[in-house]
Structure 1
C-alpha cells in the first residue's frame, strides 16, 4: 500500500502541472482524504484513484474539511480537449533502453493461454503492442483496466496484435485473471523473452509499427503512459 500511495503521489504531482488555478500544495489527496464527485457522491480511495489515473478526471481542493477534519477534494471529469491538452503538456514517458525508437524488431514465436499462436518474426504489415509484466507488480495491475479500455477502442481493427508477456506461469495467471480480466493475449512463462531483451523494469510497453521498427517504448508507469501507447498506435495506423 505504501508503494502504491507513493506511486500515485508522484503521478499526481505530474498531473498537477496541467490542472488550472490550483496550487501544488492543494493537489495532494491521499487515502485519508474525502473525495467527492460532481454529483456529491463520496468515492472510496480505490475508486477515485483509478478514475483519476485514467487521465479522464482531475481533482481540486474544495478548501474545506469534513466533520472529522479530513480535507475535501472534488473529482471532476475532463473534456476530451482537456485530456488531449494534458497529454500535450506532459513530458513523454521515458524510453526503454531495450527498445530504442527506430530499432528493427526481430520478433519471436509464442503461444497464448488460449492456445493461439503468434509468429512476430513474420508480422510485418501489422502493428505489434507488447506489455512485459508480472502479477506481483503493483503498477502493472493498476494499468490493466485502462489498457482494456484502450484495446476496446480497436475492436474493429484487425491489423493490431496485443500481447502481454508475463513472467508468471499459466496456473497463477489463470487464477489471477478470474478476478482481473486482461484483454491482451496473455503469454505465460515469459522470462526467457524478457531476458532476451534485457528487460529489468516493469511494466515495459512497446509499440512496433507496420514496418517492423520500434515506434514507441517506455518502462514503469506514468499518468500518460496509456495515452502515449494509443497515440503511437494511431500514428502507426495512419502510416501507409
Structure 2
C-alpha cells in the first residue's frame, strides 16, 4: 500500500503539472505572441506600428489587462515610453488597441520612438473639444472669413506652405473633396499658408487649389495654434469647437465624412 501511495502521489503531481501547463498555454494569446515577436526588434515593431496602429482614429483604448480605459490614460501610458500598442482583432466597428509593457529584453530604441510618435497625437487629441481661436482673415480673392461669421458651419482648415511636398501632393484629394461638398453651404474649406500673396498667386496660376487661400499666416499657425508640422488639418464643429486635428488628407476626409453622414 505504501508503494502504491507513492506512485499515486507521483501521478497526481504529474497530472497537476500537465493541467497547470495547459492552463498557462491557454493564457497565451495571439497578441502575446505578436508582442513577443516585436518588442526586441525596433525596425520590425515600427513597421507593425505604422501599418496597424492609427492613434488619430476613433479607437477603443484597452489597458494591460484588456479592460477599457480613457483615451487620455492610454496616451499618457505611451508617452512614458514603457508601453506599445497592439491591435486586438475583433468584429467591433471600432479598432481596439491594447497596451503591452516593454521589458528589459525590449529594444531600447522602441521606448524613445513610441514616446516621440505618441506626443503629436496626444497633443492633437487634447485639442479636441477646445474652442478654435478667434480669427478674421482675408483670402486671396478678397473674401473675409471670421469665426463669428462661420458659427453654425463646419470648417475644414489646412495649414501649409509652397515648399512642403506632402502639402502639394495631397491637393488633388482635397480638390475632389471640395467638389463633393460643392452644394453644401454648411461646410467651408479654408487654407492658411506661410507664403506671401505674390508667391501664392504665381503658384495658383499654374496649379488649382479649391480651398480659400489666406497668405502669410505663420504667426497664427505656429504661435496661436501651436503647429510646427505641415500639413496639419483641423475640423471645427458648427459650435466653434475643434472636432479633429490630423496631419494627412485621408485622415481629415474620413473624419469629415463621419461627421456629415446623411
If the TM-score is normalised by the length of the shorter chain, which range does it land in?
0.5 to 0.7
- 2:187 aligned with 1:160: yes
Question: Partner of 2:181: helix, strand, or coil?
Answer: coil
* Residues 26-41 of structure 1: pairs in structure 2 closer than 5 A: none
Q: Distance in 1 between matches of 2:258 and 2:237?
A: 9
Question: Partner of 2:230: helix, strand, or coil?
Answer: coil
**RMSD value, Cα:** 3.4
Give 1:55's aligned residue: none
Q: Distance in 2 between matches of 1:201 and 1:98?
A: 15
Note the alpha carbon deviations across 1:83-123, whole angstroms, 9 max, x for none: xxxxx87x9x9465497211111330001000001112342
Gaps of 5+ in 2: 1-45, 53-93, 98-119
- 2:192 aligned with 1:169: no
Q: Distance in 2 between matches of 1:155 and 1:179?
A: 22
Kindly indicate whether the alpha-carbon contact (under 8 Å) linking 1:167 and 1:191 is maintained by their aligned counterparts in 2. yes
Note the alpha carbon deviations across 1:184-239, whole angstroms, 9 max, x for none: 000011112112212111111000111211111113xxxxx323322322333359
- 2:214 aligned with 1:187: yes
Task: Flag the structure with higher helix content.
Answer: 2
Note the alpha carbon deviations across 1:17-48, whole angstroms, 9 max, x for none: 7xxxxxxxxxxxxxxxxxxxxxxxxxxxxxxx
Kindly indicate whether the alpha-carbon contact (under 8 Å) linking 1:210 and 1:236 is maintained by their aligned counterparts in 2. no
Give 1:123's aligned residue: 150
Match of residue 216, structure 1, among 221, 227, 244:
244
Q: Distance in 2 between matches of 1:99 and 1:191?
A: 22
Aligned length: 157
Gaps of 5+ in 1: 1-9, 18-87, 220-224
Question: Partner of 1:164: helix, strand, or coil?
Answer: strand
Structure having the higher Rg? 2
Give 1:150's aligned residue: 177
The TM-score, its normalising length taken from structure 2, stands at 0.52
Task: Flag the structure with higher strand content.
Answer: 1
Q: Distance in 2 between matches of 1:122 and 1:192?
A: 22
- 2:231 aligned with 1:207: no
Kindly indicate whether the alpha-carbon contact (under 8 Å) linking 1:131 and 1:165 is maintained by their aligned counterparts in 2. yes
Question: Partner of 1:216: helix, strand, or coil?
Answer: strand
Kindly indicate whether the alpha-carbon contact (under 8 Å) linking 2:160 and 2:192 is maintained by their aligned counterparts in 1. yes
Kindly indicate whether the alpha-carbon contact (under 8 Å) linking 1:95 and 1:216 is maintained by their aligned counterparts in 2. no
* Residues 76-155 of structure 1: pairs in structure 2 closer than 5 A: 94=121, 97=124, 100-155=127-182
Question: Partner of 1:217: helix, strand, or coil?
Answer: strand
The TM-score, its normalising length taken from structure 1, stands at 0.56
